[in-house]
Amino acid sequence: MLTITQKKPWMFFPDIIPLGHPIFDIIESTDPEMDWDLRLACLLLYAFDIEDNFWQLCGDFLPGPDECTSLLLAPKEDLMELEDEDLASEMLKHQQRAIDFWQKHWDKAVPLKLKRLARDHERFLWALSIVQSRSVNMKMRMGAFIQDANILMPIC
């Protein structure tokens, strides 16, 4: 999966999301340059919901929320025990950013096909931690442009 973030046209691949699906609107509402990780997390959650999708197979080998070592999933109490207060503060900001995003887009009135992708913010935090730990940013040629690309790698 990848998102292009630098110059228009901003886009995301794969084009597995049908027009009209609510996740498409959520991804399009983000800032491609700042929210690349949120976009990829949405794509990952959507891919897990598609029958016979490659990412479903890869998902069997990804660490679960209890096995993931990302500080994004750490409780506030654990973060406060870190010796580096700046790191703890930064991680709390990242957690709050993800939770705010989830609350904004996954409110109680959302359609079931969107709700089932991330029933609670912990699921979204987990997807975001997977994206942040398994993605690379690189420049690639797209037609006449050299674009910044954010690529989620199937490193399971």
Task: Answer for the pair 41, 124: CB distance below 8 angstroms, yes or no.
Answer: yes
Residue 110, φ and ψ in degrees, nearest 5: -70, 155
pLDDT at 31: 85
pLDDT at 6: 58
> pLDDT value at position 5?
63
| Terminal Cα-to-Cα distance of the chain (whole angstroms) | 14
| pLDDT for position 97 | 97
Q: What are phi and psi of 85, to 5 degrees?
A: -65, -30
Predicted pLDDT of residue 16: 64
Of 151, 135, 144, which is closest to residue 9 (Cα–Cα)?
A: 144
Coil/strand/helix, residue 138: strand
Cis peptide before 9 (omega within 30 of 0): yes
Look at residues 84, 88, 89, 96 and name the one whose alpha carbon lies nearest to residue 124: 96
Contacts of 106 (CB under 8 A, 6+ apart): 114, 115, 118, 121, 124
Hey, where are the domains in the chain?
Answer: 2-152
Are the C-beta atoms of 83 and 23 separated by less than 8 Å?
no
Tell me the H-state helices in 54-143.
54-59, 76-80, 85-105, 112-115, 121-133
pLDDT, position 1: 63
Stated pTM of the model: 0.84
pLDDT by residue, tens only, the chain of 156 residues: 666 665 555 555 555 677 778 888 888 888 888 898 998 999 899 888 888 877 888 888 889 989 999 999 999 999 999 999 999 999 999 999 999 999 999 887 888 888 889 989 999 999 999 999 988 888 888 777 787 777 887 765
